[in-house]
């Protein structure tokens, strides 16, 4: 899936290895980013930080993932989960809303408020999208899958359409539950998303 929604100008992005220290990036999410049943060094934020540093981006990535969290839960804990000094956030919430069959309008409203509040604090947002499970039906899928492109367009933020790109459906990359990424799955997720996150942070695709 192509990455869409890159409307940020490179001039507005913090530069890799900037003199004012590492870029402070927070991953605000659920179990998919928190590292469900994995040691912290194998969770998405830690693996992403290592990959970004290897690509020349001076960054500290904080893990603000909470297993089982919904978009509403993320909104309620936003102020303490994303501390002062944060420069950028990867927003990865909404999967649990979908798995519980919550009204997509409620999910969109909560994510909308999160993005609005982060931008009011001059924190830039990278939106990690999710896709509805086919078992929820076509109508639900159409409504749910429209959430993330709509928010990206409304708030002029970059969108990575499917956070589990390359992992879902591959038994070798998920835990026994068939949903959560294992170590190899997290590494695949990071490889897939890395170019988009690097562009988001530095304005450079190289």
Catalytic residue among 12, 84, 135, 177: 177
Q: Does the annotation count 155 as an active-site position?
A: no
- Which DSSP string corresponds to 88-104? EEEEE--HHHHHTT--H
Phi, psi at residue 61, to the nearest 5°? -110, 120
Q: Does the annotation count 180 as an active-site position?
A: yes
In whole angstroms, give the CA distance from residue 48 to residue 50: 5
In whole angstroms, give the CA distance from residue 191 to residue 57: 15
Catalytic residue among 31, 33, 110, 192: 31
Q: Which of 17, 2, 3, 42 is nearest to 126 (CA)?
A: 3
Look up residue 172 and give its DSSP letter.
G
Catalytic residue among 33, 110, 180, 192: 180
Torsion angle of the four alpha carbons 197, 179, 36, 6, in this order, in degrees rounded to the nearest 10: 10
The CA–CA distances, whole Å, from 78 to 24, 62, 112, 155, 171 equal 16, 14, 13, 18, 33
**Residues carrying an active site annotation:** 31, 177, 180
């Amino acid at each position: 899936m192509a990455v869409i929604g890159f409307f940020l100008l490179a001039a507005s992005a913090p530069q890799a290895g900037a003199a004012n220290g590492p870029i402070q990036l927070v991953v605000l999410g659920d179990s998919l980013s928190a590292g469900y049943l994995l040691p912290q060094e194998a969770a998405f934020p830690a693996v992403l930080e290592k990959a970004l540093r290897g690509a020349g981006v001076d960054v500290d990535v904080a893990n603000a993932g909470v297993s089982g969290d919904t978009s509403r839960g993320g909104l309620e804990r936003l102020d303490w989960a994303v501390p002062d000094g944060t420069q950028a956030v990867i927003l990865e919430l909404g999967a649990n809303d979908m798995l519980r069959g919550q009204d997509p309008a409620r999910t969109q409203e909560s994510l909308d408020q999160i993005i609005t509040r982060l931008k009011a604090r001059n924190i830039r947002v990278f939106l990690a999208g999710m896709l509805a499970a086919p078992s929820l039906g076509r109508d639900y899928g159409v409504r749910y899958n429209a959430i993330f492109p709509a928010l990206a367009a409304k708030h002029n933020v970059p969108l990575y359409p499917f956070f589990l790109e390359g992992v879902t459906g591959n038994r070798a990359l998920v835990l026994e539950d068939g949903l959560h990424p294992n170590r190899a799955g997290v590494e695949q997720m990071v490889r897939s998303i890395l170019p988009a996150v690097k562009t988001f942070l530095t304005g450079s695709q190289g």
